[in-house]
Amino acid sequence: MVKKRGANQHKGGKPFLEWCKENGKRGEKLANEFREELPTKLAKGSDYKAKWKCGTCSHVWRAAVKNRTESVRPRGCPKCANRIPVSKTKNFLAWCEKNGERGKKLSREYIDPDRPPTAVTYGSNYKALWNCGTCSHEWRAKVFHRTKSNSPSGCPQCNIANRRHGEDGCFV
């Protein structure tokens, strides 16, 4: 028996390319970013994880077609999402610039590989990667634990060392 090709074409709604044509600039962009061989076979609401290539940064990634076409919070390029500053004034780097020596120290210690300092807020719960300026220890801590004004957290390694040497300033 020959299975009719395209029998399931309408599962998940309209064919993807048709949807693109009807969605102006946004549809055009998605059609351009689409890197799968046969877009004609996919429906707009398909679960299929298609390949996409970002028109802005050329990053290639996979995402379900429906995640890109849905009208509520569609997914875009993950790389670009990381690069966009969360807020001009509330991002971590802006906070550092406003907080003198302490800000300088924190911005030096922030070495998170996944999110640039402009992509997190200073009050974020995100567990970023830090590198201690004193002992070079690397650890993860929530951004807001380090920026808060009431007993901010520091390097756990140094904390242990400080405790061992008592409070008389005999730091390592």
List interacting residues with Zn ion (CB under 5 A): 54, 56-57, 59, 77, 79-80, 132, 134-135, 137, 155, 157-158
Q: Counting every residue, how long is the chain? A: 172
Residue 43 or 109 with smaller CB distance to Zn ion: 109
Structure tokens at 146: 């380090």
Residue closer to Zn ion, measured from CB, 75 or 90: 75
Q: Measured from the CB atom, is 44 or 109 closer to Zn ion?
A: 109
Q: What is the DSSP string of 98-147?
A: HSHHHHHHHHHHB--SSS-GGGSBTT---EEEEE-TTT--EEEEEHHHHH
Dihedral, 102, 107, 112, 117 alpha carbons, nearest 10: 120
Return the number of the residue (13 or 132) whose C-beta is nearest Zn ion. 132
Minimum distance between the CB of residue 170 and Zn ion, rounded to whole angstroms? 15
Alpha-carbon span 130 to 145, nearest angstrom: 12
- Least distance (Å) between residue 157 CB and Zn ion: 4
Closest distance between Zn ion and the C-beta of residue 158, in Å? 3
Q: At closest approach, how far in Å is the CB of 20 from Zn ion? A: 19
